[in-house]
Amino acid sequence: MLDSAIKSESYSIQYDTVATPVMNPVGNTYHSNQSVAITCATGGATIRYTTDGSTPNGSSTVYSVPIPVSGIGANVTIKALLKKQ
C-alpha cells in the first residue's frame, strides 16, 4: 500500500465573555437612601462585589440582595464582577 495523503486541521478555542453587570439605580447623587440591585444577562453567572472601591475578585462578597446606600453624606463606590462557573 502507498502512504496516505497528509491531513491537517486547525483548532481554536474562544471563550465567550460574561455580560457586563447592570446596577439599578445608576451611580449618581441622590437626596434619599438608595438600594442598589445588580443584575446580569448571563445565566449561571455569580455576581461578586465590593463597596470600598477596590477591584472585586473571586473572593469578594457574593451578591444576593440589593445593597443599601444610606446615611447623610454617604459616599459609596460599588464595583461588581461576574464570574461564570
Q: Which long-range contacts (CB under 8 A, 24 or more apart) does 67-72 make?
A: 67/35, 67/36, 67/38, 68/33, 68/34, 68/35, 68/36, 69/30, 69/33, 69/34, 69/35, 69/36, 70/33, 70/34, 71/33
**What pLDDT, in 10s, does the model give residues 17-76?**
888 999 999 999 998 999 999 999 888 889 999 999 899 998 999 999 999 998 877 788
Q: What is the pTM of this model?
A: 0.76
